[in-house]
Structure 1
Amino acid sequence: MCKRGLLWLAVGALLLGGPVNLVFADPPVADKVIDKPTNVKPVPRGMPDLIPYWNFDPPKSPLFDLKNFTVNGDMRVRPEIRTNSNFGVTQSLPGQPTTGRVGGANDWYVQQWVRIGLNYALSPDVDFFAQPQWAKNWGAADNTINNGAGCSAGGSICSNDAFNNGQADSLFLRQAFIMIRNIGIQGLSLKAGRQLIVMGDHRLFGHFDWANTGFSHDGVTFQYQQPTWELWGGWLKPMDQEFNGFGQQSTSFGVMPQGAPTSTASKAGADSDLFFTRLAFKPMAGLAIEPLWVWQRNGAAQANAASPINGVLAAHANGQSRHTAGMRVALRKSIFDGSAEGYYQFGSMDIGQSGQRAHINAYAFAAEGGVTLPIPWAPRIGLEFNMASGDGDAGNCTSANPAGCGGTANTFENLYPTNHIVMGYADIMAWRNMVAYSASLQFIPFDYAANHFEFRYWNFRRQTAGDCWYRAAQNCYYAPTATNTANHLADEIDFIYTLFFKNNKVAWQLGASYMFAGGFLDNQAGAGNQPVNQTWAYTQLHINF
């Protein structure tokens, strides 16, 4: 009993002695340097306390100035139609190669998004920016009575959007970051938060605005700018294994990483990280040279034993450490313009569940150029060539049969691109296991700034017959089969017309593509069957302010 009383006495002394100690401690002296002040209050938020938290009344900030606050916005509505999306041929899924003639698989839908950008300039060098976005397919917001799981008895309407057929995922933050310029060094800027990463011609990194949600990246980036060059780099977090998948997912394409959240003790080591650095400099007028290095590390082990692993799974597969090194060069001089970029990928990736790994050895190259004639309508005639490596062992490579992988992973990783604008408008091709040739004609009739025509022809082929045909989202469109060695996939003709009006605040666009089935699809349909050609078309209305 005596010991218990002494214990409570000691506890009381500690609780009371702390505040008394602070009261009687020597206060800091203003005109005297104190190396170790003893009476400094902690900062609970770990941040400047310019606007304190409140007990009841909300704060009225003396720092806010309306003239430093700006708003911008975008809204787009786009109906799309696609006929014979599988060319009338059975699609062979990874691990399940099949052939045969099937129905048309036609589709029609309307996509819409609206964005509001909110920017506040705290000072000329400090910006706060947030961009919420609402995105949905028309008809996906089902407002009818739903008596499914989660609804109360008696047939009442579900009040929780999570049970109302997809309503809950309509609204998200597309961008939200802090930007600080001239941080310690003139010309050095920092951006922290959710942001867009766009490089060059969008072949490796793009905003993917064509999709209904696009690509956003969470992380920290730095940029150091000088008059003739800039250095850009940072760390991005594509996926944390404590959570399931990307916060951003394309409604149209379903771009997702492989694997589910890990339940192991080493969750941090299983996360996905991406590091990059890019130098852009202009040694002379009209010429830009842009070397790039990217390290993509997806730490979670590959766990899918049934499907082919090497190159056949969708992009950003688990269990890989992939380096991308290369360069882009662009030139614009007089009536000529052109660009070329090439990249080599190396590292290693999982091919089994017992620690087997394959060496990554992949590459890609693209070149395009054009001539703009100095005559009315300013027609531009262009040519383009693209290629990206594939893997001849992809169809045989499974975690259950790592010997079938051949020890290497040769399929090029397309990273986070806007394939829609560089691989054909119909979105049937990614920069993976492909060879493509293109010719184009563009012109600006009637009024130089108000409208634009584009006609383009594409010839798409596989680089190797042992690997997939990959769609724009980098997923396997048709898996390889032992009997179908044809590489000619399809020919595509694109037509795009864009009209700007209302002082360029409104744009209307009309587009159509027609795809002719190639020899690969003839073989896929099998003897006595013929594939059918595919049509894709859209119209969209876009406003911004």
Structure 2
Amino acid sequence: MKRNLLKALFFTGAGFILLQHTASAQLSVTGQLRTRTELRDGQGTLPAQDAKASVFTSQRTRLNLGYSASRYRVFVSAQDVRVWGSDQSTISNMEGSKLFLHQAWGEMILSDSATINVENLSVKAGRQEIMYDDSRLLGNLDWLQQARRHDAIVVKFSHKGWAADAGFAFNQNHGKDTPGKNGNIYNGTPTTPVVPGTNGIGMMYKSMQYLYAARTMKFGKVSALLFKDDFQKTQTIEGVVTPVAGVNSRVTVGGALFSKITDKIGFNAAAYYQGNNDKLGNTLDAYNLTADASYSSGKFTTNPGFDYLSGNNTTKQSKINHRFDPLYGTPHKFWGFMDYFYVADPFGIDGNLTRSPGLVDYFIRNKYKANDKLIVILDLHEFYAANKLADSEINPTIATTSGRRLATEIDLVVNYNLFRNMTIEAGYATIFATDKLNLLKAPATTKQDHGQWAYMMLNFTPDFLVKQ
């Protein structure tokens, strides 16, 4: 009995050691638990005169499983997001909580030294994050607790500083082929309160295709993107919007430069054009220009720059839509932490997305890295409309002054690394608005001329197979 017990203990221990060795080489088991307590008093849109601030805590819980072999990789990430004390969570302040797969993909590796002698050639299929460059147009939107992912196939290539990806997606509501349930008609506008995507687009793409190429050199990186997303056509019958056969295709093309001129000075620039048709079939003619410089001196880095996103002339109607849409990127990173622009809440005359004047953002981002544990960020934004602003049609009593200046925003973030795999972050943002920003937010009623937002976030990212 005693000998059998010793044998069992021996083989159990040996198996555990073998499993641990195998796991450390091929298997990864990681997680994330991120809680964020927020005080919102005009975050996303200006508060009404008698509005009260709200306080709540949201939580993201993830379990990630990855496995790598010589010819393939597999990754699965399960995620739960909810607000404490409720079954409701928020995307665009409206989406309910969900327990769902954030990622679930497999990658087949085609490259090897015998037949295809490149650093990497692979095919990645399944639910996955799609991120490129600085996440301006394609990013995982990690700040949002739900984040962003796509159901897609991506062919990936990289060799000696060159990289090229080709991605494809095709969405359907179901796999049925029964009368009245034609699988070729995709309803990309789900039942409220869920609002897909960002930027107030309100409709998920039917399909998308893209080509991305980049070249990394000593001075930095140059990249190019060609992206097409197709939206199911719709028709309105007695006030009901119904999807019909056919798609409206939007094409975005452009490139970016990320350079390091000296050890202290950097320069980035990007230009993108958007054409063909918008989701409603209107002719699209829009563009985005951006440039910024950075200077680092010891622990301090300053980063001034500007963003220009074209918009519509709101003083007269046009059959051409000039509003640039920053696709599926990370607006929170670029246009202020208050999330007033290009997030789920649209901005345009009386809140009408089709009457968006576009945006000019002059910014200075500052970062101070006190040590390996403490980082302080202070960003300043000055927002202007890219076009003249028409008067309100819903509420003519709202009087606006001339000019295009919308607001000034100040964002402050303090991040402290408590110890390995655990950080604490606190932030405060405030916006000082002009009467023109009030005009651009729906409904067109008198609001306060400022908003504020604060948060405290704990982020645990354990690696379950690594001793801490």
Map Cα deviations across residues 296-345 of structure 1 (whole Å, 9 max, x no partner): 111222549979x9xxxxxxxx9531111100100123101221111001
In 2, distance between residues paired with 1:515 and 1:228?
42
Q: Amino acid of the residue matched to residue 108 of structure 1?
A: V
1:392 to 313, 324, 327: 313
1:275 to 201, 204, 209: 209
Q: Amino acid of the residue matched to residue 323 of structure 1?
A: V
1:188 to 2:105 alignment: no
Q: Which residue of 2 aligns with 1:501?
A: 418
Task: List runs of 5+ in structure 2 lacking aligned partners.
Answer: 1-21, 89-94, 174-184, 344-355, 463-468
1:461 to 2:384 alignment: yes
Query: 1:370 Cα deviation (Å)?
Result: 1.0
In 1, distance between residues paired with 2:82 and 2:31?
17
CA 1:371/1:199 → structure 2, altered by over 3 Å: closer, same or farther?
Answer: same
Q: Which residue of 1 aligns with 2:266?
A: 337
CA 1:188/1:524 → structure 2, altered by over 3 Å: closer, same or farther?
Answer: closer
CA 1:536/1:218 → structure 2, altered by over 3 Å: closer, same or farther?
Answer: same
In 2, distance between residues paired with 1:252 and 1:244?
8
Q: Amino acid of the residue matched to residue 508 of structure 1?
A: I
1:488 to 2:413 alignment: no
In 2, distance between residues paired with 1:371 and 1:196?
31
CA 1:213/1:88 → structure 2, altered by over 3 Å: closer, same or farther?
Answer: closer
1:132 to 57, 78, 87: 78
The structure with the greater share of residues assigned to strand is 2
Q: Amino acid of the residue matched to residue 98 of structure 2?
A: S
2:288 to 364, 370, 375: 364
In 2, distance between residues paired with 1:305 and 1:371?
58
Q: How many residues align?
A: 394
In 2, distance between residues paired with 1:232 and 1:173?
24
1:228 to 2:154 alignment: no
In 2, distance between residues paired with 1:507 and 1:409?
44
CA 1:535/1:180 → structure 2, altered by over 3 Å: closer, same or farther?
Answer: same
RMSD between aligned residues: 3.6
Normalised to the residue count of structure 2, the TM-score between the two structures is 0.75
Map Cα deviations across residues 480-539 of structure 1 (whole Å, 9 max, x no partner): 989756522211011110001223x111001001111124147789xx977331111101
Query: 1:276 Cα deviation (Å)?
Result: 0.6
SS in 2 for 1:73: strand
SS in 1 for 2:332: helix
Q: Which residue of 2 aligns with 1:171?
A: 99
SS in 1 for 2:388: coil
Query: 1:416 Cα deviation (Å)?
Result: 0.6
1:324 to 238, 252, 277: 252
Query: 1:223 Cα deviation (Å)?
Result: 0.9
In 1, distance between residues paired with 2:359 and 2:337?
16
1:516 to 420, 426, 432: 432
Q: Amino acid of the residue matched to residue 298 of structure 1?
A: F
SS in 1 for 2:142: coil
Normalised to the residue count of structure 1, the TM-score between the two structures is 0.65
Check conservation: 2:186, 2:206, Cα contact below 8 A: no
Query: 1:253 Cα deviation (Å)?
Result: 8.6
CA 1:499/1:259 → structure 2, altered by over 3 Å: closer, same or farther?
Answer: closer
SS in 1 for 2:51: coil
1:120 to 2:74 alignment: no
Please show how residues 396-411 of structure 1 align to structure 2 within 5 Å. 404=317, 406-411=318-323
1:439 to 2:364 alignment: yes
1:81 to 2:81 alignment: no
CA 1:289/1:491 → structure 2, altered by over 3 Å: closer, same or farther?
Answer: same
Q: Amino acid of the residue matched to residue 392 of structure 1?
A: N
Query: 1:294 Cα deviation (Å)?
Result: 0.3
Check conservation: 1:438, 1:456, Cα contact below 8 A: yes
Q: Amino acid of the residue matched to residue 283 of structure 2?
A: H
CA 1:530/1:294 → structure 2, altered by over 3 Å: closer, same or farther?
Answer: closer
Q: Which residue of 2 aligns with 1:10?
A: none
SS in 2 for 1:301: strand
CA 1:538/1:507 → structure 2, altered by over 3 Å: closer, same or farther?
Answer: same
Q: Which residue of 1 aligns with 2:452?
A: 535
Query: 1:542 Cα deviation (Å)?
Result: 0.2
Q: Amino acid of the residue matched to residue 325 of structure 1?
A: V
Q: Amino acid of the residue matched to residue 276 of structure 1?
A: Y
In 2, distance between residues paired with 1:113 and 1:529?
36
In 1, distance between residues paired with 2:327 and 2:391?
17
Check conservation: 2:199, 2:326, Cα contact below 8 A: no
Q: Amino acid of the residue matched to residue 332 of structure 2?
A: H
Query: 1:251 Cα deviation (Å)?
Result: 9.2
Check conservation: 1:302, 1:319, Cα contact below 8 A: no
In 1, distance between residues paired with 2:334 and 2:203?
29
Q: Which residue of 2 aligns with 1:288?
A: 221
In 1, distance between residues paired with 2:452 and 2:268?
30
Map Cα deviations across residues 414-469 of structure 1 (whole Å, 9 max, x no partner): 11111111111121122981000011321111x2x111011111011111235899
Check conservation: 2:196, 2:202, Cα contact below 8 A: no
In 1, distance between residues paired with 2:337 and 2:290?
17
Larger Rg, first or second structure (1 or 2): 1
Check conservation: 1:468, 1:479, Cα contact below 8 A: no
Task: List runs of 5+ in structure 1 lacking aligned partners.
Answer: 1-64, 90-101, 143-165, 261-270, 310-317, 352-356, 397-403, 470-477
CA 1:349/1:423 → structure 2, altered by over 3 Å: closer, same or farther?
Answer: closer
Aligned identity (percent) is: 20
In 1, distance between residues paired with 2:87 and 2:103?
23
CA 1:215/1:498 → structure 2, altered by over 3 Å: closer, same or farther?
Answer: same
1:218 to 151, 164, 168: 151
Q: Which has the higher contact order (CA 8 A, sep 6+)?
A: 2
In 2, distance between residues paired with 1:536 and 1:75?
22
